[in-house]
């Protein structure tokens, strides 16, 4: 009878440990997937270098090539796009204030109101037939 309690206790400890590991690594999952993607895409090149050079030299070459060909351009693109987005937000904030937006919305509704009334009148005439 105590064996069943031992198995249940060990199973609950296992479930608790797995949930703790999942909770711990949840913030790191995107980084792990990026590292996995980089590893998968560059492994064939590493194998080519390994046939030519030793393991340590091949690893050194790949360690230098991956940041310069993949990571630095990505950082540059993200930096430039962030700066451009901040400039765009600043332009939008300076060119459009709430008064202008309210005025544009009221002008738009004033121009669209007669068209909407005509469409409603046509629909009521069609449904009456």
In this structure, the answer to whether residues 112 and 125 fall within a common structural domain is: yes
pLDDT for 64: 93
Is 40 a member of any domain? yes
Residues 91 and 42 in one domain: yes
The pLDDT tens digits of the residues spanning 57-90 come to 999 999 999 999 888 998 999 999 999 999 988 8
Residue 26 belongs to some domain of the structure = no
- One domain for residues 106 and 71: no
Q: Looking at the structure, do residues 63 and 109 belong to the same domain, yes or no?
A: no
On the CB side of 31, CA atoms within 13 Å amount to 4
Spatial CA neighbour of 13 closest among 3, 1, 24, 21: 21
pLDDT for the residue 24: 92
| Tally of domains in the chain | 2
Asked whether residue 3 is assigned to any structural domain, the reply reads: no
Residue 61 lies in a domain: yes
pLDDT at 22 over 70: yes
Residue 31 lies in a domain: no
Q: Rounded to an integer, what distance in angstroms lies between the CA atom of residue 53 and that of residue 46? A: 10
Contact of 62 with 49, CB cutoff 8 Å:
yes
Q: Which domain holds residue 69?
A: 36-95
42 contacts 62 by C-beta, under 8 angstroms = yes
Q: Is 121 or 61 the better-scoring residue by pLDDT? A: 61
Whether 23 is in a domain gets the answer: no
Same domain, 90 and 41: yes
Q: Do 61 and 111 belong together in one domain?
A: no
């Amino acid at each position: 009878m105590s064996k069943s309690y031992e198995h249940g206790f060990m199973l609950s400890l296992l479930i608790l440990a797995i949930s703790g590991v999942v909770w711990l690594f949840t913030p790191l999952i995107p980084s792990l997937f990026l590292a996995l993607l980089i590893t998968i895409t560059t492994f064939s090149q590493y194998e080519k270098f390994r046939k030519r050079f030793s393991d340590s030299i091949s690893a050194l070459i790949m360690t230098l090539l991956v940041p310069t060909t993949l990571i630095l351009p990505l950082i540059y693109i993200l930096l430039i796009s962030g700066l451009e987005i901040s400039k765009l937000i600043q332009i939008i904030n300076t060119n459009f204030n709430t008064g202008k937006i309210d005025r544009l919305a009221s002008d738009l509704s004033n121009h669209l109101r007669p068209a909407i009334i005509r469409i409603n009148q046509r629909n009521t005439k069609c449904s009456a037939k």
